[in-house]
């Protein structure tokens, strides 16, 4: 059975999509079979991994709305071996409203993940920057949550709302949900501010924070425009090293969790 993880923070621009693509790609490079699910109407994971959104006939939207649809029909291969994608489309923006009237509206993504879980080692869900029905579907469907936090002045702003959302989902929809960890992103070693944010986040999250910190690296921002992950685009860039290191730490945590 594969493990499913939602990459979640209701703030935009904190590194969710970048972490989703690059963690997924590093896992795939290590021989894991990985499925990314893009549930953000902006579809940045979809375009960032080189899939042309306008040419798609079927997307996540179709499988969410039609519960009888074969999920394998919406899964696409990517330019990275072992890495697959359920793409997003702008239709997803309308799904917020359309799902509101369907029965079991919070469990539509769960149906999709459950159907293909045994085919993958990891399933990563790239959440939208909101707390709407799409995010609820994500948190209801997955085993755990990975929280990217940007090293900026307002880093911890919104975190209490983020935690209470996870608690609410745990109570009402997904009792076994847990936080995998917190990954700090866009660290700038030249500023005291970045350093201070690291300390604040560590004080707040303690052990949940990963030791690896993703630096600010322009190569990470460039890679999506070529439709490839950083380890393909520039394997020796600091951003590539950081995501490889993070993936190692991620897998070590997985191992020790299973050992318990
Ligand atoms: N470590 C990083 N260094 C430099 N730019 C980054 C880094 N991480 C993300 N970015 C860029 O910052 C922007 C927001 O990141 P993104 O991953 O899309 O965040 P989110 O999905 O949370 O909105 C994107 O343009 C992305 O390319
Ligand atoms: Mg995003």
Q: How many CB atoms lie within 10 A of CB 81?
A: 11
- Please tell me the distance between residue 202's alpha carbon and the centre of ligand 2 in angstroms: 24
Q: Whose CA is nearest to atom 3 of ligand 1?
A: 216
Ligand whose nearest atom lies closest to the CA of 128:
2
Assess whether the C-beta atom of 110 lies below 6 angstroms from ligand 1: no
Statement: residue 155 has pLDDT above 90? no
- Please tell me the distance between residue 12's alpha carbon and the centre of ligand 1 in angstroms: 9
How confident is the model over 228-244, as pLDDT tens digits?
Answer: 999 999 999 999 999 99
Statement: residue 97 has pLDDT above 90? no
Question: In the chain, what is the straight-line distance between the N-terminal and C-terminal CA atoms, in Å?
Answer: 18
Q: Sorting pLDDT into bands at 50, 70 and 90, what band is 96?
A: confident
Statement: residue 260 has pLDDT above 80? no
- Please tell me the distance between residue 173's alpha carbon and the centre of ligand 2 in angstroms: 24
Q: Sorting pLDDT into bands at 50, 70 and 90, what band is 221?
A: very high
| 3-state DSSP assignment of residue 181 | strand
Atom of ligand 1 nearest to the CA of 14: 22
Q: What percent of the chain has pLDDT over 90?
A: 90
What is the rounded average pLDDT for all residues in the chain?
96
Specify burial of residue 200 (Cβ count, 10 A radius: 0-12, 13-18, 19+): middle
Q: Whose CA is nearest to atom 9 of ligand 1?
A: 15
Overall domain count for the chain = 1
Query: Measuring CA to CA, which residue among 140, 151, 152, 147 is closest to residue 163?
Result: 147
Query: Measuring CA to CA, which residue among 76, 145, 135 is closest to residue 109?
Result: 135
User: Contact 102/108 with Cβ under 8 angstroms?
Assistant: yes
- Please tell me the distance between residue 244's alpha carbon and the centre of ligand 2 in angstroms: 20
Q: Find the helix or strand (DSSP H, E) in which 7 lies.
A: strand 3-7
CATH number of the domain where residue 14 is located: 3.40.50.300
Question: Pairing between strand 178-187 and 209-215?
Answer: parallel
Ion ligand 2: protein residues whose beta carbon lies under 5 Å: 16-17, 44
What φ, ψ does residue 164 adopt, rounded to 5°? -70, -30
Q: What percent of the chain has pLDDT over 70?
A: 100
Q: Which of 26-40, 147-161, 183-197 is most confident?
A: 26-40
- Please tell me the distance between residue 197's alpha carbon and the centre of ligand 1 in angstroms: 17
Assess whether the C-beta atom of 14 lies below 6 angstroms from ligand 1: yes
* The pLDDT value given to residue 71: 97
**Once rounded to an integer, what is the mean pLDDT over residues 60-64?**
96
Assess whether the C-beta atom of 13 lies below 6 angstroms from ligand 1: yes
Q: List the domain range (segments joined by +) for residue 15.
A: 3-259
User: Contact 255/121 with Cβ under 8 angstroms?
Assistant: no
Q: Sorting pLDDT into bands at 50, 70 and 90, what band is 163?
A: very high
How confident is the model over 102-132, as pLDDT tens digits?
Answer: 889 999 999 999 999 999 999 999 999 999 9
Question: Pairing between strand 83-86 and 76-77?
Answer: antiparallel
* The pLDDT value given to residue 5: 98
């Amino acid at each position: 059975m594969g493990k499913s993880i939602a990459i979640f923070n209701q703030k935009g621009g904190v590194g969710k999509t970048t972490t989703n693509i690059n963690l997924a790609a590093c896992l795939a490079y290590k021989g894991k079979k990985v499925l990314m699910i893009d549930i953000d109407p902006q579809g940045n994971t979809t375009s960032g991994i080189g899939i042309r959104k306008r040419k798609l006939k079927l997307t996540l939207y179709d499988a969410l709305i039609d519960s009888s649809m074969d999920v394998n029909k919406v899964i696409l291969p990517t330019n990275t071996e072992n890495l697959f994608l359920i793409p997003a489309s702008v239709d997803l923006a309308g799904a917020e409203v359309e799902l509101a009237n369907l029965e079991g509206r919070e469990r539509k993504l769960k149906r999709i993940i459950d159907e293909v879980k045994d085919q993958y080692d990891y399933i990563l869900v790239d959440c939208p920057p909101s707390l709407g029905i799409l995010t609820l579907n994500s948190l209801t469907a997955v085993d755990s949550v990975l929280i990217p936090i940007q090293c900026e002045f307002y880093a911890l702003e919104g975190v209490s709302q983020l935690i209470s959302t996870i608690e609410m989902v745990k109570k009402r929809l997904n009792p076994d949900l847990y936080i995998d960890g917190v990954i700090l992103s866009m660290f700038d070693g030249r500023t005291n501010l970045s350093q201070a944010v690291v300390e604040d986040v560590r004080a707040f999250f303690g052990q949940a924070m990963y030791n690896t910190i993703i630096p600010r690296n322009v190569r990470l921002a460039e890679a999506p425009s070529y439709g490839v992950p950083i380890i393909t685009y520039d394997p020796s860039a600091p951003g590539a090293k950081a995501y490889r290191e993070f993936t190692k730490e991620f897998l070590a945590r997985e191992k020790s969790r299973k050992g318990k």
